[in-house]
Amino acid sequence: MKKIILLLLLSISATAFAQKLERIEPMYWWVGMKNPKLQLLVHGDRIADLGVTLNYPGVKLVAINKVENPNYLFLDLEISESAAAGKFPIVFTKAGKKLLQHVYELKQKSTKAERIQGVNSSDLIYLLMPDRFSNGDPKNDVVKGMQETKLNRDSMYFRHGGDLQGLINKLDYLKDLGVTAIWMTPEIENDMANASYHGYAATDHYKIDPRYGNLELYKSFVDKVHEKGMKVVKDIVHNHVGTGHWFYKDMPMKDWVNQWPVYTQTSYRDEPVMDPHASKADQKKMLDGWFVPSMPDLNQRNPYVQNYLTQNHIWWVEDAGIDGLRLDTYPYNDPDYMRDWAIKIKAEFPTLSIFGETLVNSAAAQAFFTGGNTVSRGFDTELPGVTDAVLKNAIYEALNGKSGWTDGIFRLYTTVAQDFLYQDASRNVIFLDNHDMSRFYSMVKEDFDKYKSGMALLLTLRGIPQMYYGTEILMKNYSDPDGLVRSDFPGGWPADKTDKFSAAGRSAQENEAWNFVRTLANYRKNSPALQHGKMMQYVPENGMYTYFRYLPEGGKTVMVIVNTDDQAKTLETSRFEERIGQASSATNVITKEKINALKTIAVPAKTTLVLELI
C-alpha cells in the first residue's frame, strides 16, 4: 500500500513539473539591429514557476519579468554589437534542474541597402483584399481546425477563397496596368467564427492565415513582386485584435487590453484627440473604447504591449523585406506610443515608408497627425504621411457639386491650397475609394466622363495615388447595406463565367476604362514631373481649374485642365504664361493628339485634359 501511495505521489510530482512551452515570440531575431534590446514573450503552462538561464557570447539576460498570469514570462535580452549570428539554448530550470530547453536563433540582419525600397510619390499603389481577388490554390480554401468551416461566395460576410497564390498569378496583370506597389488588407491569421476575411481581427501576429498560404509563400510573394520591379505595402493594426487571439484567451495581465466596467465602444470621433478644449472622458472613450465587440482594444500604455507590437512590426519588415507600412485606424492609438513606435521603426529601416489611416474631416485635422506639426501637441508624431480623405472628398465635390465660392471645383482648389499645413504633402496617399467606402464609379453615378476625369486627377495631383482593386474595370456598388464594395474580382476563380483580367472578358466600356488607366499610369511611371515635380495651381475661372506639374531644374511640364461643367469650354491661356513659358504646342497624354497652338484650348464637357507641353 505504501508503495502504491509513493508511486502516486511521484506521478503527481512529475505532472506538476511537466510544464509545456507553448511559444516564444519573436520566434527569431537578428544581430546588427540599431536597438540592442529585445524582449521575448514566453508562454506556457505555469512557465513563471521556472528559472531561466542562457549562455551565448554577446547576449545578456538582463531581466526575467513575471506578470499577473503565471503562464507568461517576459525575458529582457541585450544583444551587443559583438554578438554573431547563431543558435543558443534558453534553459528553463526548477530547483536547479533543467526541465525545458528552447533553441533560439539570431540571424544576420540584411545589409542590402536597396532591399527596402520605400513607397513614394513615384508609385501607384493597388489596394486589394486577398480573399476577394483571386483563388490560386483551392486546396487551402477550408483549413481543418479553423473556426470558419466553409466558403460562401454568395455572402459578403464569409470567406470566398482568394489567396496569396492567386495574387502571385496576377502580378503580370498589375504590372501591365502600371501598378508599382501592392497593398493587401492584413494577411495574418484571423481565426474567427465569421466575418474575419478582411484581416483586421488578428488571432496570431506571427502567422500568415493558412487560408492564404504560409510565411514562406508570403516571402516568396514579396520576392516575386520585387523581381517585377514593384513594391509591397503591409497593412498593420496597432489598435485592436480579434477575440479569438491566442493571447486574448489567456491574457498576460488584466490591462493587456483596455478594460471598462461595462462594454464601451469608441465614439469614432477624432476631435477629442486634438481639441484643446476636450474633456478627458471624451478622449478616453475615443482612444480606449473598443472598435467593435469582437475586437478588443489593446492598451498601448502597457510597456509589454508596446514592445510586443513594435518588435512584431520590425520582425515582418526585416524578415520579408517589405517596402512600406499602412497603419490602420491611426487616430485611435495612444499618441505617445505611436511617436515612440515611429522613431524605433525608422531607426531600423530609414528607407521604409509609413502612412497612417486618418479618415477625418479637414486638412487641419489630417495635418495634426503628421510629422513636423509640433505646435498643437508639443511633440512630433514622426508620421511621414496620411491617407488623404479630405482631398478625396474635394475631388467628389469637384466632380459632382456645383461651383460656388467654396463649392464645386473651388473645394478642390482650396484643399490643395492648404498644403502649407503639412511638412510634405507629397507623402500623403491620395485615393478615390477603398474597402471601407462606396466605390468611385457608383459615387459619380456611373458617369463615364466623370470617371475618367477623376482618374486623371488621381494620377496627376500631388501625393502617392492609391487605386482600389476593380476600379480599372468599373466595379461599382455602395458600402451599405450589403458590403458589395468587397465583391470578387471577376475571373479570379476557375468557375467564374467571365474573366475580366483579360481584354476578351471585358465589355467595350470596361476595356476603354482599363486602357485609360493603363495609358495614364504607365505615362506617370515615366514622368518625373508627375512623380516628383512641384505643383502650381491657378484660381479656377469660368468653371475650369488648371494646374501644372513641373521640375524647377527643367524637363517636361505637364498641364492639367479640369472642366467639370456639362458644356464644352474654351480656355484662354495667357494667364498661365509663368508656367507655359516658351512652349508652343502640347500632346494629349491619353489620345496622343497634338495641340499645335496653346493660346486657346478646347476642353470637352466633364473632362480632365492631361497635356505634355512641347
Do 286 and 273 form a contact (C-beta atoms < 8 A)? yes
| CA distance linking residue 418 with residue 579, whole number of Å | 21
The three cell numbers of residue 474 are 468599373
Residues 230-258: pLDDT tens digits? 999 999 999 999 999 999 999 999 999 99
Give residue for cell 519579468. 65
pLDDT interval class at 14 (50, 70, 90): very low
Three-state DSSP string of 125-170: EEEECHHHHCCCCHHHCCCCCCCCCCCCCCCCCCCCCCCHHHHHHC
Q: What does the pLDDT read at residue 57?
A: 98
Return the CATH number of the domain spanning residue range 125-526. Answer: 3.20.20.80
**110-135 pLDDT per residue, tens:** 988 789 999 999 999 999 999 999 99
- What 3 state SS string does 185-246 have? CCCEECCCCCCCCCCCCCCEEEEECCCCCCHHHHHHHHHHHHHCCCEEEEEECCCECCCCCH
pLDDT of residue 376: 66
Question: Do 16-108 and 125-526 share a fold?
Answer: no
Point out the catalytic residue in the list 209, 297, 318, 357: 357
Q: For residue 378, what pLDDT is reported?
A: 80
The yes-or-no answer on residue 357 being catalytic is yes
Spatial CA neighbour of 247 closest among 314, 194, 302, 308 = 308
The 3-state DSSP class for residue 317 equals helix
Sign of the dihedral through C-alpha 588, 502, 184, 453: positive
Domain boundaries, the chain: 16-108, 125-526, 535-613
- What pLDDT digit, counting tens, does each position of 93-104 carry? 999 899 999 999
Q: Is the confidence at residue 15, as pLDDT, over 80? A: no
Average pLDDT over residues 380-404: 96
Which is catalytic among the residues 328, 348, 419, 433? 328
Q: What is the pLDDT of residue 95?
A: 93
pLDDT at residue 403, rounded to an integer: 86
**pLDDT given at position 479:** 93
Q: How far is CA 533 from CA 29, 481, 527, 556, 558, in A?
A: 40, 41, 9, 10, 9
Position 480 scores a pLDDT of: 85
* pLDDT higher than threshold 60 for residue 36: yes
Fold of 535-613: Immunoglobulin-like (2.60.40)
For the chain, give the mean pLDDT.
Answer: 95
Phi, psi angle pair for 306, to nearest 5°: -55, -50
Residue reference for cell 536563433: 105
Closest to 488 measured CA to CA, from 235, 60, 245, 163: 163
Highest CATH level, class, for 16-108: mainly beta
Element (H, E) at 267: none
